[in-house]
Amino acid sequence: MDQLAVRIKLGDIQAFELFFRKYYVPLCGFTNKFLNDPEQSKEIVQEVFIKVWENRKDIDPDYPLKAFLFKIAQNASLNKLQRKKVESKYIEIYKLVYIDHKEFSVHESLLARELEDNIATAIGKLPCECKRVFELSRIEGLKYSEIANVLNISIKTVETQMSKALRSLRLELSEYLTFILIVVLLNPF
Amino acid sequence: MESQKLLERFFAGEISEKEIEILKSWLEKDPENRHIFDRENELWQETALYTRLESYKTDSAWSSISEKIGAGGNNKKEIAIQSILRHRILLAAASVALLLALGSFSLWIGSRISFKHSAALPVTIMTNDGNKAHILLADSTEVFLNSDSKLEYNGNYGIKDRVVRLSGEAFFDVSSDPGKTFQVQTDQMNITAKGTKFNVLSYDNEDRIETTLEEGEVQISIKGMDAINIKPGQQVVFFAKTREVVVRNVATDTYTSWKENKLRFNDTPFEEVMRNLSRRYNVNIEIADKELLSLRYTATFIDESIDDVMKMLKAVSPITYKIFNRTSVSDKNYLNPKIIINSRRQSVKTNNPKLI
């Protein structure tokens, strides 16, 4: 039984804060995966947490609270996505994948697992220029052309380095996934 | 690997109108392709989490959400108290250099400490929940400091006068010195003595200040009132809110036996019992059913664990309780153990599988 869930159920605000602090950022990322809009994702995630708190009496401590949280967030995001007008080709793609074909369960989500440390390690391992390109894109939010300008390299090189970075991260993740699989196999119950 | 390139360009926002059409038909073609899209999307979001994009600020998000659920003020206070505590421990450690964090009674008994002070620097001795201290002052006066208490005195204590300041609870065994009276100062009450044994309780979170005299003589002065002299076996209780003073005869060991690590209750109100347990065992106690406040206990506990104490209280009164062990919050933060007490007929059902 999940002690934290029991405490939240009984109205322990400290336990709830702990829960919030642990999952707020991953949940924002998870929500943003459907909406591709950080502001909206943030709003939805806050609403989800408020909903969990307000309905805390209905929490079932024998069911993982985290999976429950991600499930509610997924429903809320998909509702939001559904209501979105197709203003851009981008929204069209998200709708195509997530609304037209509902094939994705929370259990498959990497974001619902705790991968952050692995990601940090993986990024740390990237070769220098590759890392620089990746960070300019993901942290500073620069466009490929801007990165090319800053680093005085061609757009083609930027693209190659980005691919390289993502390939390496994918590889790290796949190792992690294999590890999970082994754990599951060793502890079937 | 053309599709991989397309996906990367899509997520990086570099994709062209023409390419997006290609991506679309690729996605429609095969469920596996949509899974690849999802995985790539997750990877993209996951790396954003690692960089903790500016827009996801947990602290400000928590303050806005805690305001909405009406928990804001409360929570901030808790954090402030925690950090003050840490600060206080450092202060005390610096001025006394030892004496603190005497975890258990056996340790406590084994570490009677005396020290001489040369400079006129003030000395502060502090105990946390669950800890006690035994202090031997320069004039051989002994002080037993209960949990969550603070004793302060000047470095020149015993030279000109003998004055200490107390918040919390302490038992004083004052050595006789006809030339210099001994004085304990608290927020609302001063106690003056020659050679005596007495107990003073003055916690910030309790409404009453209490002096219990075991031996000798003390004089009690409360601002705006006449001085009161009490005899051994008597107790003065001052209720700060109503400014009411009660002098009564008591079995003194009920009030002083904490220093022998006994917990004694004598027709003691429920809330007070719980505050005592909370200080003594360093646990947070929540009384879920306010009807329980009318209960009173008479009991003595000697060296019992908190589990045993709770079991016994449950056996003699209509309560149920649940103990939550110390929980780790994150790397360095812990929630204290917590006990939630309810009345027996309204026990909380926790196995009620239902989704929101």
C-beta of residue B170 within 8 angstroms of C-beta of residue B151: yes
pLDDT in tens, B183-194: 999 988 999 998
Mean pLDDT of chain A: 82
Closest CB to A143 among B8, B13, B65: B13
Where are the domains positioned within chain B? 2-56, 98-256, 261-349
How confident is residue B23, by pLDDT bands cut at 50, 70 and 90? very high
Which two three-digit tokens encode residue B104? 């258990």
Task: Give A98's DSSP letter.
Answer: I
Question: Between chains, do B10 and A93 touch, taking CB under 8 Å as contact?
Answer: yes
Please tell me the CATH code under which domain A3-108 is placed: 1.10.1740.10
User: Which residue's structure tokens are 């002994």?
Assistant: B142
Q: Is B351 on the interface with A (CB under 8 A)?
A: yes
d(CA B224, CA A143): 75
Q: Could you tell me how many CB contacts below 8 A there are between chain A and chain B?
A: 183
Please tell me the CATH code under which domain A116-186 is placed: 1.10.10.10
Q: For the residues B319-344, what does the mean pLDDT come to?
A: 76
Q: Is B323 on the interface with A (CB under 8 A)?
A: no
Residues 258-317 of B with CB under 8 A from A: 288
Question: Between chains, do B352 and A60 touch, taking CB under 8 Å as contact?
Answer: yes
C-beta of residue B264 within 8 angstroms of C-beta of residue B309: no
Q: Which CATH number fits domain B98-256: 2.60.120.1440, 3.30.420.10, 3.40.50.720, 3.50.50.60?
A: 2.60.120.1440
Q: Of how many residues is chain B composed?
A: 356
C-beta of residue B268 within 8 angstroms of C-beta of residue B301: no
Q: Is B346 on the interface with A (CB under 8 A)?
A: no
Question: Between chains, do B23 and A93 touch, taking CB under 8 Å as contact?
Answer: yes
Where are the domains positioned within chain A? 3-108, 116-186
Closest Cα in chain B, distance from residue A186 (Å): 25
d(CA B310, CA B272): 15
Q: Where are the alpha helices (DSSP H) in B12-143?
A: 17-29, 31-50, 58-68, 72-96, 105-109
SS3 A155: helix
Residue B166: what pLDDT? 95
ipTM reported for the complex surpasses 0.90: no
Residue B355: what pLDDT? 41
Closest CB to A138 among B47, B325, B330: B47
Task: Give A28's DSSP letter.
Answer: H
Which residues from B are below 8 Å from A46, CB to CB?
61, 64-65, 68
pLDDT in tens, B247-306: 988 888 878 888 887 888 878 888 888 988 888 888 888 888 888 888 888 888 877 788
pLDDT in tens, A13-32: 878 888 888 888 889 989 99
Closest CB to B356 among A16, A45, A52: A52
B297: β partners = B268
Please tell me the CATH code under which domain B261-349 is placed: 3.55.50.30
Q: Determine how many CB atoms are found less than 10 A away from the CB of residue B206.
A: 16
